[in-house]
Amino acid sequence: MTATDWLITAVRVLAPVLAIMLILPIPMWLERRGAGLIQDRPGPNRVGPFGLLQPLADAVKFFMKEDLIPANTDRLLFVIAPGIALFSALTTFAVIPYGPAVTVGGREIPLVGADVSIGILYLFALTSLSVYGIVLAGWSSNNKFSLIGGIRSGAQIISYELAMTTAAAGVILAAGSFRLTDVVAMQTGTWLGFIPRWNVFPQFLGFAVFYVATFAETNRLPFDLPEAEAELVGGYHTEYSAFKFAMFFMAEYVNMIVASALTVTLFFGGWSLPWYEPHGIGGVIVSALAFFAKTAFFVWVFIWVRWTLPRFRYDQLMRLGWKALLPVALLNLLWVAFLVVKRWLP
Amino acid sequence: MIAGGIPLGDVLLASGALFVIGLVGALLRRNAISIFLSIELMMNAANLTVLGYAASLQNLEGQVVVFFVIAIAAAEAAVGLAIFIALFRHTETIDVNRINLLKW
Amino acid sequence: MTPALWIIPALPLAGFLLCLFLGSRSGKSFVSAVGVGSVALATVAAWTRLIPYFSESAAPAVERIAPWISAGNFSVDLSLRLDPLSALMVSFVTFVGFLIHVYSIGYMRHDETDAGYARFFAYMNLFLFAMLTLVLANNFLLMFVGWEGVGLCSYLLIGYYYEKEFAADAGKKAFVVNRIGDFGFLLGMFGVFSLFGTLDFDGVFTRAAADPTRFAPGLTVVCLLLFVGAMGKSAQIPLHVWLPDAMAGPTPVSALIHAATMVTAGVYVVTRCNVLFRLAPEAMFLVSVVGGVTAIFAAIIAIAQTDIKRVLAYSTVSQLGYMFLACGVGAYVAGMFHVLTHAFFKACLFLGSGAVIHALGGEQDVRRMGGLAPRLPVTYRTFLVATLALSGIPPLAGFFSKDAILAAAFAAHRPILFAIGLFTAGLTAFYMFRLVSLTFYGEFRGTPEESKHLHEAPPTMVLPLVVLAFLSAVGGFVGLPEVFGERANRIAAFLAPVIPPVFLPGRETETHHLPVSSEWLLIGVSVAVALAGLLLAWKWYAKENGRPAAKLAASFPALYALVADKFRVDELYDVLFVRPFVWLARMLWKVIDVLLIDGVLNAGAFLVELTGDALRFLQTGNVRNYALTFLLGIVALVLIVFGGM
Amino acid sequence: MAALTATRLVFDAAATLAIVFASVMVIHRHPVKSVLALVVSFFALSIAYVLLSAPLIAAVQVIVYAGAILVLFLFVLMLLNVPEEARHGSGRPIHRILSAAAILVFAVFLLSLLRSHGATASPAVGASAGGGADVAAAARLLFSEHLLSFEALSVLLLAALVGAFALARPETQR
């Protein structure tokens, strides 16, 4: 590998991460304005036009606050935990393709961080690691609310990971590959000339299960039991303040974006557009924008749901995961297997 | 010498070291869960050996075997931890030195 | 647009699943719609497929759904087969099944909970699924699946009123007796595979026909085993004991499973394997003898029964005997023809008896009926038509099929069988008209309250009766005897492709033809016998109120008791099989198990206990010590094995 | 001695990391810390697996071991609130001495054996196949030749599930 290759790889991997860090304030602002919209109140509107600079002000606040580590905590773990949460959230983006291959100076560069053969497995591996951030935060805080939040989160994430993985297995089965670029490739084009070949159509059940499960995986309402402020103060991040809290806060939004991007990639054709064949640099831009737009839509749904639905009770959450989502996901898997055996898919 | 220039000796040495470390833990720790962890470590050491040979001999069977070992470890962990929980409920401890009713 | 074959059984299966999982919560209307609707759709699907088939008599169609089992040189597909034989079966299974489903709405509606109603229709749909699988299967294994499926449904539906002990017992009895037959079928299937190396019908039959002598001795055994299976399912002597008891189930079940469809599966199997059977004349001979004996035996028992459904049950056994008789003398077409007509009139009779029982609020004893003709006019008329059809009165359906069988027996130079058949025909007419007389003529013998509640059945029950009665009347015209012209016997022409010519060296390959004159003569004789039986019954039971019969019974009390007790076959089996078996089991338990095995075991255990007492002080109870011992052992092993290196 | 390629360097680093954290796991007296050390060790091992051209196993290692089994351990520890191990317990001295001796003998034998075998092992033929092909090939092997074992394993897992449930259920509900 030449130095240029290294450089290109570095850019490919870092670009999406940086992009996410840069646009992170947008969903944060969107969340608060959206909450205002849904609850029929203005929302933040003092800092900048439409309160656009509010996230910036928040960031400044987080940096300026006192960084408190309570007594009798496990200091090492207490410090590491938010780092694990943010790190595992950010690195997941490395394997999600965000555009078609672009040819620059005779080199064909696929627009994906790392086009690894076990892309989806890599994603699930990192997702399963993200539970450590929260569980450790809960445990090291030496606080009963934090501990309950951490344990709840762990059980919830492991439970819903089953349903999520099984739902995604339908897509893997249809694509015949763990590679996310293959998953996107199989979803280009149309059926009968007008239905996009998106997985959501043959596998609607799989999509539904997957998307519901991502809500639980990201600890968002209606499944935000780990931090349920009405009963657990703040859940696993009760004891956190200042920058460490900001890392948890950011991790939540990154997770949301990643979950949306993954949903788009698996079920909505990723960067591809049904009637559009990307050519040249313009095509790349259009495709990347399409990916961005689709992802943004699902991020908005996350926000929309949060401010619309009430929180589940924990037993209801577990019942839904094990007794409803998992069987439905299995059903979906059977259905896809049937389609594949009948050669109606891909 | 196997893929990418990793000598098989390195792999075997690492796995041997891990196995011995696991052995030490399994024999000298008194906490049942730590003993359990050590046993998991020994299994992984064995896995490493198998994968080393699989890469060296260009044989995929090794991966299959490791896959099975991992799945069996999962089953073992589930049952083992359930036993510990049941045990803890009775004795309020998981120190194996104090769980010694099963004699004479 | 012709539907694929798998759709036909799949529809009742879907109905079954819907009824099973949603039925008990969704109420009776839903269950009726799903249960009957799925069968109606299956009927439509089947008939859109069959109508062109009947008119063109197309070639056999095999549709492969998926590979099923593939292991070594054994491979079986999930594949369905439509040829004239299965087409014939499917045609009436779906149609009669549909009518009986419709009837069930009226019959089951009032006296069942929602859950029970759903259960009933779920099982009925499952039964149709299994039955259609049985007849459409393209290999022995899939057929066996259907075979077991219908057996299961039969068991479930006989025991439908499982809270009543006799119903539960009857279900168990049916299951156990059927197991014997199923075992035979299974062994026969193994035999087929070991002889021919395949289970596909086409493969087996072409191989058998291509080289008849090669398989000869084994083939006879295989045929006998398959026939044991057929005997179990079709209630032939000595495995007939379950069918009369099966009447413990609801009447539509009796009509569908234990009269029209499932019990004819045995006949279907023998006809399906006609190539094999014709290569094994000894097996054929046994088939005809068992059929003949069953026919007359069951008919005699039927005379002395007083339960309306039991009479019909024994009549069914007797008619099944007829069908086997036909198969045994090589008249497979006549056998299948009788299967078809029997499905119509026997279903009609059972449904009619159901209407009677319904009107009387559950009373089944004919001695407490009588004089129902004016109160249940439609039921009476349809019942009468079906009775005449069963008795073999021209030009109703039963006449033609029964006549075909008798003519075949005669033509095959089997005078004894012919005589038995003829005599049974007379008996049939006698006991059937006895039943009609006791039920519908004379004075009502029930309580006044029952008399007040007498009512004609609801339209959902009456309609199937009328349709079935109509079919009983005209169904025979598909198979007119050859005296009416060369092409008159359309069913024979239609079924000809599935009964290919077979050449067995050393034997004439006889296709019997009777001269026209003797055929007319036969027709005359059989009609005369039937009429005689009919008139005698009418005279004894309708005109003279059963007095001559009672007198006759009184003069031979022992004989009458024997017949009324169904020749005490159940008691015989109890002595022959059940008690020795219980005794043997007790022996094994008390002597072999307790004394011998436990003794050895206890002695061993005592030794171990002694050793354990000595060694137990090595147990510290500390798991780490054990692990250490473990390791020490390994170190010792390593030192021994590698120490020399 | 083999040449020092970049891949070997990474492998050795990962292996060292695994060994170091395995040691931490054994030495640390707090069970929660032990589990976490083992997580790191297993993560390092999974990197080693990738380098041994077994990406599927590497992913499974992280998902199953780090993501499920060890989380379960952590859970149990948190639920039971297991304290730190006491410095000197009730173990008999003879156990310790015997253990140490046995381990020593075993370790010497094992390592020398592996070393000699590693040195004499026949060199590999050709480069390994691409990662993507490996996943599909391994899966094919798993679902054809080893299908029976695979299915048996699923039954085992089900049995373990039921067993764990039955064991861990509170007594009062029985």
Q: What CATH number is associated with residue B82?
A: 1.10.287.3510
- Give the confidence band of C126 by pLDDT, cuts at 50, 70, 90: very high
What is the rounded average pLDDT of the residues C141-169?
88
The answer to whether C350 touches C309, Cβ cutoff 8 Å, is yes
Flag the least confident range among A248-257, C423-432, C564-573.
C564-573
Backbone angles phi, psi at C346, to 5 degrees: -75, -40
Percent of chain C with pLDDT over 90: 4
pLDDT at C187: 92
Contact: C621, B100; criterion CB under 8 Å: yes
State the Cα angle at C125 between C119 and C127, rounded to 5°.
100
**What whole-number distance in Å separates Cα of residue C305 and Cα of residue C564?**
6
CA A175 to chain CA centroid, nearest Å: 21
B28 contacts: CB under 8 Å, gap ≥ 6: D26, D96, D99
Distance separating alpha carbons of residues C193 and C140, to the nearest angstrom: 9
The residue to which tokens 């790889």 are assigned: A9
Q: Per DSSP, which regions of chain A are E strands?
A: 99-104, 107-111, 190-191, 195-196
- D25, D41 in Cβ contact below 8 A? yes
Range of the domain at B13: 3-91
Residues of B in contact with D168 (CB under 8 A): 81-82, 85-86
Overall size of chain D counted in residues:
174
**pLDDT the model gives residue A262:** 87
Q: Closest partner residue to A121 among D59, D75, D78, by Cβ? A: D59
Residue A157 has pLDDT above 50, yes or no: yes
Distances (CA, A) of A296 to A12, A123, A137, B71, D106: 21, 20, 29, 38, 59
- Tell me which of C609, C613, C623 to substitute to probe the interface with B (most B C-beta atoms closer than 10 Å): C623
Q: Is C376 helix (H, G, I), strand (E, B) or coil?
A: coil
Burial class (CB in 10 A: 0-12, 13-18, 19+), C645: exposed
Is D67 part of the contact surface with chain A (CB cutoff 8 Å)? Answer: yes
Does D25 contact B41 at a Cβ distance shorter than 8 Å?
Answer: yes
Q: Which of B16, B66, B83 lies closest to D167 in CB terms?
A: B83
Contact B68 D149 (CB under 8 A): yes
- D122 vs chain A: nearest CA distance in angstroms? 29
The count of residues in chain B is 104
pLDDT of residue B104: 55
Q: For residue B95, what are the β-bridge partners?
A: B31
Q: What does the pLDDT average to over C244-267?
A: 85
Contacts of residue D122 in chain B, CB cutoff 8 Å?
56
| Best CA proximity match to A321, nearest among A205, A210, A172, A218 | A210
Between A103 and C405, the more confident residue is C405
B56 domain-assigned: yes
Torsion angle of the four alpha carbons A180, D56, B13, D123, in this order, in degrees rounded to the nearest 10: -90
Say if B86 falls within a structural domain: yes
For residue B99, being part of any structural domain is answered with no
Mutation target vs C (from B19, B96, B99; most C CBs, 10 A cutoff): B96
Check residue C415 and give its pLDDT.
Answer: 83
Q: Identify the chains in contact with D, defined as 3+ C-beta pairs within 8 A.
A: A, B, C
Query: How far does Cα C146 stand from its chain's mean position?
Result: 12
Stretch A298-307: mean pLDDT, rounded?
Answer: 86
CB contact under 8 A, D95 and C632: no
Mean pLDDT of C129-140: 90
Contact C249, C209 (CB under 8 A): no
pLDDT at residue A18 above 70?
Answer: yes
Question: In chain A, positions 12-51, which contact chain D (CB-CB < 8 Å)?
Answer: none
Q: Which amino acid is at C85?
A: L
Q: Which residues of A touch D78 (CB under 8 A)?
A: 135, 139, 147, 150-151
Closest CA of chain A from D62, distance in Å: 6
Residue to mutate among D5, D24, D32, with most A CBs inside 10 A, is D32
Tokens 């046993």, residue located: B39
Residues of D in contact with A125 (CB under 8 A): 59, 62-63, 66-67
For C182-236, give the secondary structure using H, E and C: HHHHHHHHHHHHHHHCCCEHHHHHHHHHHCHHHHHHHHHHHHHHHHHHHHHHCCC
Q: C500: cis peptide before it, omega within 30°?
A: no
B101 touches chain C (CB under 8 A): yes
Chain D (66-125) residues lying within 8 Å, Cβ to Cβ, of chain C: 91, 95, 98-99, 102-103, 105-106, 109, 113
Chain length of chain A:
346
Please say whether the beta carbons of C351 and C251 come within 8 A. yes
Taking the C-alpha atoms of residue C481 and residue C468, their distance in angstroms, rounded to an integer, is 23
Which chain C residues are Cβ-neighbours of D91 within 8 angstroms? 624
Q: Is residue D126 part of a domain?
A: no
Chain D residues inside the 8 Å CB shell of A155 = 75
Contact A256, A295 (CB under 8 A): no
Q: From CA C245, how far away is CA C168, in angstroms rounded?
A: 10
Task: Please say whether the dihedral angle defined by the alpha carbons of residues A221, A224, A230 and A233, taken in this order, is positive or negative.
Answer: negative
Tell me, what DSSP letter sits at residue C80?
E
Cβ distance of B70 and D149 shorter than 8 Å: no
At C133 the pLDDT is 92
Q: Which residues of A touch D41 (CB under 8 A)?
A: none
d(CA A84, CA D71): 15
The answer to whether C622 contacts B97, with C-beta atoms less than 8 Å apart, is: yes
CA dihedral C81→C82→C85→C87, nearest 10 degrees, is: 140
Instruction: Give the total number of structural domains in chain D.
Output: 1
Domain range summary for chain C, segments of one domain joined by +: 288-335+354-502+512-564, 570-642
**Is residue D174's pLDDT more than 60?**
no
Residue D137 domain boundaries: 6-84+131-173
What is the rounded average pLDDT of the residues B42-50?
Answer: 90
pLDDT category at D119 given cuts 50, 70, 90 is low
In this structure, the number of other CB atoms found within 10 A of the CB of residue A242 comes to 15
| DSSP symbols for A295-310 | HHHHHHHHHHHHTTSP
Give phi and psi for C307, each to the nearest 5.
-90, 125
CB-CB contact of D155 with A138 (8 Å):
no
Percent of chain C at pLDDT > 70 equals 95
Strand segments (E) across A91-246: 99-104, 107-111, 190-191, 195-196
Q: What is the mean pLDDT of residues C530-540?
A: 83
- Do the Cβ atoms of A82 and A247 come closer than 8 Å? yes
Q: Which of D21, D77, D78, D79 should we substitute to test contact with A (largest number of A Cβ atoms within 10 Å)?
A: D78
Q: Tokens representing C148?
A: 């077991």
pLDDT-above-90 percentage for chain A = 0
Strand-strand pairing, C61-71 and A99-104: unpaired
Chain B: list its partners (3+ Cβ pairs within 8 Å).
Answer: C, D
Alpha carbon C15 to its chain centroid, in Å, reads 22
Q: Which of C621, C627, C631 sits opposite B103 (nearest CB)?
A: C621
Cβ–Cβ under 8 Å, residues A222 and A312: yes
Distance in angstroms (rounded) separating the CA atoms of residues C350 and C101:
13
CB C323 within 8 A of CB C291: yes
Comparing CB atoms, the residue among C628, C634, C635 nearest residue D95 is C628
Closest alpha carbon to C519 in C389, C388, C411: C411
Mean of per-residue pLDDT scores for chain C: 83
DSSP state of A110: E
Token pair 């189930």 is found at: C249
Closest CA to A255 of A102, A78, A109, A126: A126
Q: Do D163 and B79 touch (CB under 8 A)?
A: yes
Reported as a pLDDT band with limits 50, 70 and 90, residue C581 is confident
Q: Do chains B and A touch (3 or more CB pairs under 8 A)?
A: no
pLDDT band at C130 (very low <50, low <70, confident <90, very high): very high
Residue A118 contacts D, CB cutoff 8 Å: yes
Is pLDDT larger for residue A4 or for residue C6?
A: C6
> What number is the average pLDDT over the span A242-268?
85
The answer, yes or no, to whether the previous bond of A82 is cis (omega within 30 of 0) is no
Could you tell me which chain C residue has the CA closest to the CA of D95? C625
Q: How many CA atoms lie within 13 A of C433 on its CB side?
A: 26
Query: How does residue D126 score in pLDDT terms, banded at 50, 70 and 90?
Result: very low
The predicted pLDDT at position C129 comes to 92
Question: A276 pairs with which residues across the strands?
Answer: A273
| Count of the separate structural domains present in chain B | 1
Is the pLDDT at C56 greater than 80? The verdict is: no
Domain with residue D43: its CATH number is 1.20.120.1200
Chain B nearest-CA distance from D47, in A, is 11
Nearest C-alpha in B relative to C624: B27
Determine whether the interchain pair C631/D95 forms a contact, defined as Cβ–Cβ distance below 8 Å: no
Interface test with D, best of A178, A330, A341 (most D CBs within 10 A): A178
With H, G, I as helix, E, B as strand and everything else as coil, classify residue C72. Answer: coil
Mutation choice for C interface testing from D94, D96, D99, D111 by most C CBs within 10 A: D99
Mean pLDDT to the nearest integer, C228-257: 85
- pLDDT given at position D125: 35
- Residue D132: the pLDDT is 45
Q: Which chains touch A (3 or more CB pairs under 8 A)?
A: D
Question: CA A12, CA A94: separation in Å to the nearest integer?
Answer: 8
Q: String of b and e for C20-32 (b: at least 16 CB within 10 Å)?
A: beebbebebebbb
With vertex at residue D166, the alpha carbon angle to CA B36 and CA D82, rounded to the nearest 5 degrees, is 40
Nearest beta carbon to residue D113 from set C628, C634, C642: C642
A113-117, A139-143, C5-9, D71-75: range with lowest mean pLDDT:
A113-117
pLDDT > 60? residue D1 = no
A200-229: pLDDT as tens digits: 788 888 888 998 888 888 887 787 777 766
Nearest to B24 among D5, D103, D128 (CB): D103
CB–CB contact A124 D55 (8 Å): no
Contact between A124 and D74 using a beta-carbon 8 Å cutoff: no
Cβ atoms C91, C47 nearer than 8 A = yes
Residue B91 belongs to what H/E stretch? helix B61-91
Closest-CA residue of chain B to D90: B97
- Is B59's pLDDT higher than 70? yes
Q: pLDDT value at position C501?
A: 67
Asked if the C-beta of D69 comes within 8 angstroms of chain A's C-beta atoms, the answer is: no
The pLDDT value recorded for residue A266 is 87
